[in-house]
Amino acid sequence: MTHLIDAASLAAALTASTPPRVLDVRWKLGGPPGAQEYAAGHIPGAVYVDLDTELAGHGLPTDGRHPLPTPEDFQDAVRGWGLDDGDEVVVYDDVSGTSAARAWWLLRHAGFASVRVLDGGLAAWRAAGGALETAANIPERGTATVAYGSLPTIDADSAAGFPAAGVLLDARAGERFRGEVEPVDPRAGHIPGAVSAPTTENLAADGTLLPADVLADRFAALGVTQDAPVAVYCGSGVTAAHEILALEVAGFRAALYPGSFSAWSNDAQRPVAMGA
């Protein structure tokens, strides 16, 4: 299965009789919603997706900052983007896919078979000479049906025991893993037994994903094999989806801990480890 599409291929696909549905998923941790950036210029035909309200639900602090939306709420959002069952979808952002991958993961988890991330994001589109438009796209409401379960997930109890039988990767920046800084969550550090694997290190200098063989070598060096289960978490389950994308490109299947460290660190009964 192809999980990425380059800018030239997307430009060609958009001229086809049945072009893919394009979703703009611009979002940054602590930053303003991406709606303003979308309004300033987006890929022609793209529909804006609000990560905080459409790709996440709301719950207790122990559910994390971006718990998965309910299937009913996500289906409502998906239909609002104009999606029908069987549609091909391309998602992009302006942070090398680290936000758009949340939409990629959720749509696949919900049963969409063809979802690709624009490799290199909006920067790659611009570099390839791609046009931008400013008019908002409000599509006719779609009819897609959503059923979660196509991708694996784990909960906090599973995350606690995961390192004993597999590899639990922490996709956050190394300084957050080590507990040197913690900008948003109540406690610093990481889940005991986890391995630091910042997802930004899966990217080349131009913001595209590293080649599959290079990614495979990277994950192998972190202890990932075909013989043991792999799971990923981050701060709130957003950039972890990007790590899962990189793992799939490299040939590995991984589970997501949706609550991630934001859920874990809000539960005083859960231990937190510090250091490398």
Cα separations (Å) of 112 from 146, 154, 170? 8, 21, 26
Tokens for 93? 């952002």
Catalytic residue among 25, 154, 234, 244: 234
Q: Mention every residue, 6+ apart, whose C-beta is less than 8 A from residue 33.
A: 27, 50, 52
The amino acid occupying position 251 is G
- Evaluate whether 262 touches 238 at the Cβ level (below 8 Å): no
Output the six-digit token pair for 251: 């040939």
DSSP for 96-146, written as a single string? TTTTHHHHHHHHHHTT-S-EEEETTHHHHHHHTT---B-S---PPP-----
Give CA 177 to chain center in angstroms. 19
Cα 269 to the center of its chain, rounded Å: 28
Token pair listed for 131: 């046009």
234 as an active site residue: the answer is yes
Query: 142 with 84: CB under 8 angstroms?
Result: yes
Distance of alpha carbon 55 from the chain centroid: 10
Distance CA 178, CA 182 (A): 10
* 90/24 Cα distance (integer angstroms): 9
State the catalytic residues. 234
